[in-house]
Structure 1
Amino acid sequence: MTVEASVTIPGDTVSRVALTDSAVELLDKLWLIHGPLMFHQSGGCCDGSSPMCYPAGEFITAEADVLLGVLDISAGPPGRDAGSAEGDAGSRLIEFWMSREQFEYWRHTHLTVDVVPGRGSGFSVEAPEGKRFLIRSRLMQ
């Protein structure tokens, strides 16, 4: 099961971004620690090739970025009742942004954010958890 993002790009009819159950579980935990979250996918090598998760608004977006979708993790990971998390005050919406330059390369792909063991980037909030976010992509039809 995955959580699909809302469609945010004019002219699109299908989601461009999704979360695996493992990603939702980690994001649920990170939300309790950091509050509202956002993703940014830049490009290039090293940490730029992984999606970076920040407290919402900490990474400033501009016209050089594209909002690929908004993901709703309000229901939390499988097995958790919606609204049962401590401090949960309603919806949990996470914006997923990508640099416009990177979007030109990836415009024909659907991205799924997953979690794997390892060390995340020092700037991404999952770094201390011993896990990192990873993009799995497939061509859009």
Structure 2
Amino acid sequence: MEPYRPPSYPAVLGDLAYAAALALFIYLQKLAFRLRAEEGQAWWASNGRDLVNGLAAVTVSGAVWLQGVAPWLALYFGCTLTLALSVIHTLAQRRSDEPWKPVVVAAALLGAPLVLAPRVVAEVMASLLSAAF
């Protein structure tokens, strides 16, 4: 399977979907931290946090797929990006009252290559995965 196929719709739609997925990710991280605070009081809070993080990973993966990246590679990239942004958000939460700002910067820096050259990014990711496995 090819790692990349140009989408049949204008590329700007994939870019907008990616931006929307990142905005949703930031909102979902706020919700996850709120659930984390309630974990001691509500038995379902940790499961809710898992659900929120899973939804974030699926949303980001879907946006990567809309860029033209193969589904299996989009899932890998989306989950990896979600994990990286979650770690950055957690670290920023400890140091700042507005942890979303570093997450937006990191998302822009990590996502820019995908927006600017999706074919190259997909091919590089596919070759890295082939080399690893």
Asked if TM exceeds 0.5, the reply is: no
CA radius of gyration, larger in = 2
TM-score by length of 2: 0.29
Larger helix proportion, structure 1 or 2? Answer: 2
Larger strand proportion, structure 1 or 2? Answer: 1
